Amino acid sequence: MICLFEIIIEIMAAALGLTCRDAFVIFSQNETLQLQRENTQLKARLARYEPTPRSFETYAEYCRTERTALAFLNDWLHNNVNPCSFKYHSECGSYPFFERHHLMEAFENTIYMITNNRDFAWHISGFCLDIAEAAIHAAHTQNMAVGNGYAWYADERVVALVVYQSLTPDTLPELIRDAVEYPLDSDDEFT
């Protein structure tokens, strides 16, 4: 009888071992699937906010691309700005001068021309809009402090220039610096 009891205990122990082993395998598979999902989500977020940089062969090639993009932005600003009188000006930013949606699209297209990354360009265009609105507000405040009145609003060229200069020459390259790369030891770096 003891022999039969020992056999039953051994069989139960063996069955329990298989059950624990099976449970561990299932648990391990579930953890692996969860980690794969999280990895996919993190890669998607990383691609949006920290894209794989666009590589340029030389610094001169990067500069040509940047000049082309900034020329597009300059032309767009000058062709799409609306004059505004003080009566219609509000301190909420660029609204009286530009359609905000179209202005953000112009920023997005400019950044895309340089980085070749649409998601990143869309993300950065929001920062550009904030900078443009701050520049317009600063121009208004400075103009009032100097006592020049409200005349600058009526000149579309000045408004376009204020927005353009708020993003160039340093701000936009700083915003996209992680999205582009070019050789630092290039012979043509300073040409």
pLDDT value for 191: 47
Domain assignment present for residue 72? The answer is: yes
Determine the residue type at 175: L
pLDDT value for 184: 76
Domain assignment present for residue 187? The answer is: no
Query: Is 67 found in the same domain as 88?
Result: yes
pLDDT value for 74: 94
pLDDT value for 128: 93
Q: Is the dihedral of CA 18, 19, 24, 27 positive or negative?
A: positive
Query: For the chain, where are the alpha helices, taking DSSP H only?
Result: 2-49, 59-80, 100-115, 118-146, 156-167, 171-175
Query: Is 145 found in the same domain as 81?
Result: yes
In 10 A of CB 112, how many CB atoms?
18
Query: Is 86 found in the same domain as 14?
Result: no
User: Taking a C-beta distance cutoff of 8 angstroms, is the pair 178, 115 a contact?
Assistant: no
- Kindly list the distances between the CA atom of residue 49 and the CA atoms of 59, 69, 107, 124, 125, in Å, as whole numbers in the listed order: 24, 21, 16, 9, 12
Query: Is 74 found in the same domain as 165?
Result: yes
What is the spatial distance between Cα 164 and Cα 75, in angstroms, rounded to a whole number? Answer: 10
Of 113, 76, 116, residue with least CA distance to 97: 76
The parts of the chain modelled with pLDDT lower than 70 are 1-2, 4-5, 7-20, 23, 47-51, 85-94, 142-154, 185-191
Query: Is 37 found in the same domain as 95?
Result: no
Domain assignment present for residue 24? The answer is: yes
What is the extent of the structural domain holding 3?
1-45
Helix (H, G, I), strand (E, B) or coil at 19: helix
pLDDT value for 107: 95
User: Taking a C-beta distance cutoff of 8 angstroms, is the pair 66, 180 a contact?
Assistant: no
Domain assignment present for residue 153? The answer is: yes
Query: Is 32 found in the same domain as 74?
Result: no
Tell me the pTM: 0.68
Query: Is 80 found in the same domain as 121?
Result: yes
Domain assignment present for residue 119? The answer is: yes
Q: Tell me the per-residue pLDDT of 112-123, one tens digit each, with 9 for 90 and over.
A: 999 999 989 999
Number of structural domains the chain divides into: 2
Query: Is 154 found in the same domain as 67?
Result: yes
Domain assignment present for residue 188? The answer is: no
Domain assignment present for residue 36? The answer is: yes
What is the spatial distance between Cα 121 and Cα 181, in angstroms, rounded to a whole number? Answer: 16
User: Taking a C-beta distance cutoff of 8 angstroms, is the pair 68, 56 a contact?
Assistant: no
pLDDT value for 39: 85
Distance of CA 53 to the CA centre of its chain: 12
Of 113, 29, 103, residue with least CA distance to 65: 113
Query: Is 167 found in the same domain as 121?
Result: yes
Query: Is 109 found in the same domain as 37?
Result: no
Domain assignment present for residue 191? The answer is: no
Query: Is 80 found in the same domain as 22?
Result: no
Query: Is 73 found in the same domain as 38?
Result: no
Q: Tell me the per-residue pLDDT of 94-103, one tens digit each, with 9 for 90 and over.
A: 677 888 899 9
pLDDT value for 66: 94
Name residue 55's beta-bridge partners. Answer: 181
pLDDT value for 13: 62
